[in-house]
Structures are given as C-alpha cells and as structure tokens.
Amino acid sequence: MKRIKISLEYSISLVVIFWIIRIFESVSGFDLYFLGIYPRTTTGLPGIITAPFIHANFDHLIANTLPFLSLSFLLFLFYKKKAGSVFVLLWITAGFFTWLIGRPAWHIGASIMIYALAFFLFFGGIMSKKFLLILLSIGIIILYGGLIWGILPVAGQISWEGHLSGAASGLVWAYKFRKEIRRVRN
C-alpha cells in the first residue's frame, strides 16, 4: 500500500503543477510558450526541462493529464528505486532529442513524456523477461498502442517530433537498463 501511495503522490504532484501553470496562464493572460523547446537554438534549450509543464490550452492539458498520470504512476510503482533516475533521464533525453530533430516551432506539452514513459514501460517489460513486467507491457500496448500513430507527421500543430523523441528516449533507456531491471525484485 505504501508503494501505491508514494507512486500516486509523485504522479499527482506533477499533474497538479501542470494544472497550476495552465490556470495561471489562463487567469493572467500571460502565455508561457517561450518555456517550450525551440529546436537548435540557445533560446529553446531550457525548454528541455520546462516544455512538458506548458500546454497550449485546457483541451491540450486534459488530453495529457490521464495518460501522464497513469504512466508515471506505473513507472514509480513497478520500477521502485530505479524509477526516479529513469524518469529524469527520460525527461531530459526526450527533450534533448526534440531540440535536435524538431522543426522550427515551439514544442510544448507532457505528451513528450507520455511517449517516453509508454515506450519505456513497454520495452522495459519485454526486455526484463519478468512475468509481471511483461503483463504490464501487454497492458500498455492494449491501452496505449494507438500512440504509435502520433510519431508520424500527420497533424501540423502536433509535435510529432516530440512524440518520436519521447518514444526513442523510452526505447533507449529500456535497452540501457534491461540487465538491471532483470536483477531487481518486484
């Protein structure tokens, strides 16, 4: 029960920050888009850290809230002590990849992390060769398998580059930590 509580607290805390920022933008009329990632510029470099906190509007935030909440919760629940470092590595790497490959535009939103988390959980579970984590991988593909279409350049306003970067980050870190994940008891 304690692990569930702690995992929920981490995930909910981040989502609350997303909502506070969006409400602040809405009430103040101040747009924080400049905290996003603007690829291959020094101006857009801090966005590697801040972009997932910024959302274009409430619809964008609502669309990201439940997937981010559930996927980050699952990471913290199933990967215990490794979860914090994996989460930070996913966040930074996904942002950096977006900064490297993105088109010249502001890239914002937690979907960068949603893709990183989903791909890490899926591939991490498969590579772990552990029954429980493989079941988690199957659940991820059932619930979030449709994410695969988001890494294709189909909608002009959506950062498919951020999605692709998140997916690549998840895959890279799942591969990197595969042996450690196999050794850790769940």
> Tens of pLDDT along 127-147?
999 999 999 999 999 999 998
For residue 157, the model assigns a pLDDT of 84
Q: Which ranges in the chain belong to alpha helices (H)?
A: 2-28, 47-50, 58-78, 80-101, 111-128, 131-144, 160-176, 178-183
- Per the model's pLDDT, the better-predicted residue between 113 and 182 turns out to be 113
In the predicted model, what is the mean pLDDT of the chain? Answer: 95
Residue 152's pLDDT band, with cuts at 50, 70 and 90, is confident
Q: Tell me, yes or no, if the pTM score tops 0.75.
A: yes
For residue 93, the model assigns a pLDDT of 98
Q: In 10 A of CB 182, how many CB atoms?
A: 12
- For residue range 90-115, list pLDDT tens digits in order: 999 999 999 999 999 999 999 999 99
CA distance 34 to 4: 35
**Does pLDDT of 184 surpass 90?**
no
CA distance 156 to 146: 18
